[in-house]
Amino acid sequence: MTNYVVYDVFTDAAFGGNQLAVIPDATGLAEDQLQRIAREFNFSETTFVYPPTDPAHTAKVRIFTPTMEVPFAGHPTVGTAIALRDAGATGNIILELGIGPIPCTYLGDRAAFTVTAPLERFSEPDPDLIATALSLPADAIDLDAHAPVQASVGLPFVLVALKDRAALSACQPVTDAFRQGAARHPSHLDFAIYVYVRDGDAIDARMFAPLDNIPEDPATGSAAAALASFLTDRSGQAQNLSIRQGEDMGRLSIIGAQTTLADPIPVTISGQAVRTMSGTLTI
């Protein structure tokens, strides 16, 4: 018998934010069960917690989407940190993820982690393909801000600036166009698109990854980290962003993303999480 808990992450209220299943002690599970369990929950991610490899750290965490294991993701890191706090963890903790040890801190009712992976740029997908994939006219993309770019600080996303909030609300993913993008620009995620509108330090965003069984994600901390790092690198200025995501889905999420000027660029992602369910796996 293996226990699980479910949290809504990047929200202070139940039934908002992004759902996360956490298996606090996965040591009794067989390797071939992990992907099946993640698919059964069918959240954008499920985390499996193990004893740390390094006894100086707090825990080893493996993250699965419904279709694959990923080395890093934001809302699972925040949600798992808060789940460990609720189970008795105090002070600063260190989680071993696929991209290496990630320090996490508790700031009142929030958890924060800092990632220092170097910003990687993989490609600049054709804006016309992006527009087709999102069911938008080509002129909805804000090329004056920057061309679409596939970038990563642990997990790759195509970062796309739009001209206004109406265009963001109008986005509808077209799976065939995503397949074309994935064929042209292969990566660990299958052409996941993170699209946003900026007003000063306020960001409204949406994320679509239909080829990874995530038609739309209500909160994507790893994409927020990639965007914050990219904007810092592009502008030469530290960022202090407040990102609203999931609003068009009825699951509003609030993500904090702060950077400082260093090489590589440190990005701190912060947010709240609310426990909504608990239970036992009977497999």
Same structural domain, 138 and 237: yes
Mean predicted confidence (pLDDT) in 95-117: 94
CA 143 to chain centroid, in Å, comes to 24
The DSSP line for 150-198 is EEESSSEEEEEEBS-HHHHHH----HHHHHHHHHHS--SSSS-EEEEEE
Instruction: Tell me, yes or no, whether 98 and 191 share the same domain.
Output: no
Residues 194 and 231 in one domain: yes
Which candidate, 226, 222, 246, places its Cα nearest to that of 79? 222
- 43 with 144, same domain: the answer is no
Domain identity same for 103 and 124: no
Same domain, 277 and 259: no
State the residue range of the domain holding 143: 120-263
Asked if 111 and 124 sit in the same domain, the reply is no
If asked whether residues 241 and 147 sit together in one domain, one would say yes
Same domain, 66 and 173: no
DSSP 8-state code for residue 141: B
Residue 90 has pLDDT above 90, yes or no: no
* pLDDT for the residue 187: 85
Do 151 and 159 meet the contact criterion of CB atoms below 8 Å apart? yes
Q: Give 260's pLDDT tier (boundaries 50, 70, 90).
A: very high
pLDDT (tens digit per residue) in 109-153: 999 999 999 999 999 999 999 999 999 999 999 999 999 999 999
Q: Residue 13 belongs to a domain with what CATH number?
A: 3.10.310.10
Can you read off the two tokens belonging to residue 74?
A: 């934001």
Q: Are residues 43 and 142 in the same domain?
A: no
- Residues sharing a CB contact under 8 Å with residue 167, sequence separation 6 or more, in sequence order: 136, 140, 197
| Amino acid identity, position 108 | G
Given a cut of 90, whether residue 5 has pLDDT beyond it is yes
247 DSSP assignment: G
Mean pLDDT of the chain: 96
Q: Is the pLDDT of residue 188 over 90?
A: no
Q: What is the pTM of this model?
A: 0.94
Total domains present in the chain = 2
Q: What is the pLDDT of residues 22-62, one digit of tens each?
A: 999 999 999 999 999 999 999 999 999 999 999 999 999 99
Instruction: Pull the structure tokens for residue 264.
Output: 């590589």
Catalytic residues: 45
Whether omega before 137 lies within 30 degrees of 0, making that bond cis, reads no
Does the pLDDT at position 107 exceed 90? no
